[in-house]
Amino acid sequence: MDQQPNSPIRPKHLPSHMINGSSPLVTQENRDARERESAYKSIKSSMGPKKEPVDLEGNYFQPHTSAQPRDKRPSRLTNLDEVEARDPRDDWSSQQTSRASSPYTLAPTIDFDGLSWPSTGTRERLESTPEQAAARQEKLAGAVRTLLECIGEDPEREGLHGTPERYAKAMMYFTKGYEENLRDIVNGAVFHEDHDELVIVKDIEVFSLCEHHLVPFTGKMHIGYIPNGRVLGLSKLARIAEMFSRRLQVQERLTKQVALALSEVLQPQGVAVVMESSHLCMVMRGVQKTSATTTTSCMLGRMRSTAKTREEFLNLLNRR
């Protein structure tokens, strides 16, 4: 029977936030904060504890000026041959992680000096004198000479003459990302812009070394973000990818590092990074699957929480 025009309207039993689609307990800001925290905890399995956003309005990457002495590594790392993974001048704070601690898990996304997840010996290499750098390269060349001897080769034969020195120089270039930092990479190229739609840079070529076998993996990275009042110079996206790839890496960590670094620098509404690559460690050895490729992704903010936004990003990636 049709409802009479003057009959009272029955009250709805649904809460108001289920009708209008927004809960007073779950705001966009709270959701974004939880997603960022989740991403931090994920990458802490390979890198970093506490992460502080970069203050682009002031002087970012300020040196630590406290007169208080800095704490050293926690005693639980004594099983790692008593090696401190970071310079004692660096800050660190004890945080629980989902996995066991390692030299990588106690480093923040962006250090006070911008080194971004330095590993053992990173600052020593960065601050070495020309004499120390030459001694380091000579030591590396000697190790390559030993390697050639161990595989049954003659380092003195014509074809291998000078190979140890050449390889030493090449390896230092392959890992030059350890000496770079976000402060110099960004170089102030952050601009205020009233744009709140997707910005995507596709097909960034990436070359890195697998940390498990020291053989290359190569591919392409696609980076997208939704600005929140600030944009980054387009070339800086490729430079950030280059900085993190020129280290000993695994693809999963590399993808997260680029996403979190961009998130820290810009504080955008959302970040998405997708990487596709071929790993020679499973092409020229092991299972030897020459056509196999690996795809990894990291989504933050609206790119993770909003399915339509994520779908738009992925659809744009597939357009040629």
- Residues 272-301 have pLDDT tens digits of 999 999 999 999 988 888 889 999 999 999
What is the reported pLDDT for 45? 55
Specify the higher pLDDT residue, 42 or 252. 252
**4 catalytic per annotation:** no
pLDDT tier at 127, thresholds 50, 70, 90: confident
Q: Do 89 and 219 lie in a common domain?
A: yes
In a domain, 191, yes or no: yes
Mean pLDDT over all residues of the chain? 77
**156 catalytic per annotation:** no
Specify the higher pLDDT residue, 245 or 8. 245
285, 283, 296, 284: which is closest to 249 by C-alpha? 296
Among the listed residues 37, 205, 211, 311, the single catalytic one is: 211
DSSP-derived letter for residue 211 is T
In a domain, 68, yes or no: no
Q: Do 154 and 285 lie in a common domain?
A: no
Range from 17-26, 74-83, 155-164 that averages highest in pLDDT: 155-164
In a domain, 129, yes or no: yes
Q: Residue 293 to residues 194, 289, 297, 298: CA-CA distances in angstroms?
A: 38, 9, 14, 17
Answer whether residue 84 shows pLDDT above 50: no
20, 24, 36: which is closest to 305 by C-alpha? 36
Range from 19-23, 124-128, 186-190, 247-251 that averages highest in pLDDT: 247-251
Q: In this predicted model, what pLDDT tens digit does every residue of 4-56 receive, in sequence order?
A: 556 555 554 444 544 454 555 556 667 666 766 666 665 555 554 444 544 54
Q: Do 170 and 188 lie in a common domain?
A: no
Answer whether residue 312 shows pLDDT above 60: yes
Q: Do 166 and 291 lie in a common domain?
A: no
**222 catalytic per annotation:** no
Among the listed residues 28, 62, 212, 311, the single catalytic one is: 212
The residue assigned the tokens 């997840």 is: 117
Among the listed residues 210, 252, 276, 312, the single catalytic one is: 210
Q: Are 47 and 117 in contact (CB under 8 A)?
A: yes
Residue length of the chain: 320
In a domain, 22, yes or no: no
Q: Do 312 and 229 lie in a common domain?
A: yes
pLDDT tier at 107, thresholds 50, 70, 90: low
Answer whether residue 198 shows pLDDT above 80: yes
Range of the domain at 301: 31-58+85-116+181-318
pLDDT tier at 120, thresholds 50, 70, 90: low
Which of 160, 177, 194 is the last residue before a domain boundary? 177
Q: Mean pLDDT throughout 195-201?
A: 94
Answer whether residue 99 shows pLDDT above 60: no
What is the reported pLDDT for 67? 43
**195 catalytic per annotation:** no
**192 catalytic per annotation:** no
Specify the higher pLDDT residue, 124 or 320. 124
Percent with pLDDT over 90 in the chain: 50
Tally the domains of the chain. Answer: 2
Q: What are phi and psi of 301, to 5 degrees?
A: 65, -135
Round to the nearest angstrom and report the end-to-end CA distance of the chain: 57
Question: In the chain, which ranges are continuous DSSP H helix?
Answer: 16-20, 28-43, 122-126, 130-150, 163-174, 182-186, 234-245, 251-266, 302-305, 307-318
Among the listed residues 257, 264, 279, 298, the single catalytic one is: 279
Q: Do 264 and 170 lie in a common domain?
A: no
Q: Mean pLDDT throughout 184-197?
A: 90
d(CA 161, CA 180) in angstroms, rounded, equals 32
Q: Do 230 and 165 lie in a common domain?
A: no
Give the CATH number for residue 96: 3.30.1130.10
Give the CATH number for residue 173: 1.10.286.10
Q: Do 162 and 147 lie in a common domain?
A: yes
Which pTM value belongs to this model?
Answer: 0.69
Percent with pLDDT over 70 in the chain: 62
Q: Do 90 and 217 lie in a common domain?
A: yes
**279 catalytic per annotation:** yes
What is the reported pLDDT for 123? 81
Q: Which amino acid is at 29?
A: E
In a domain, 64, yes or no: no
What is the reported pLDDT for 144? 96
Q: Which amino acid is at 115?
A: L
**213 catalytic per annotation:** yes
What is the reported pLDDT for 41? 63
Q: Do 272 and 188 lie in a common domain?
A: yes
Q: Do 224 and 142 lie in a common domain?
A: no
In a domain, 141, yes or no: yes
Which of 161, 177, 193 is the last residue before a domain boundary? 177
Among the listed residues 165, 213, 276, 312, the single catalytic one is: 213
Q: Do 145 and 101 lie in a common domain?
A: no
Q: Residue 251 to residues 222, 257, 299: CA-CA distances in angstroms?
A: 13, 10, 15
What is the reported pLDDT for 63? 46
In a domain, 71, yes or no: no
Among the listed residues 249, 251, 257, 267, the single catalytic one is: 251
d(CA 32, CA 55) in angstroms, rounded, equals 19
Measured in whole angstroms, the distance separating CA 203 from the mean position of its chain's CA atoms is: 17
In a domain, 269, yes or no: yes
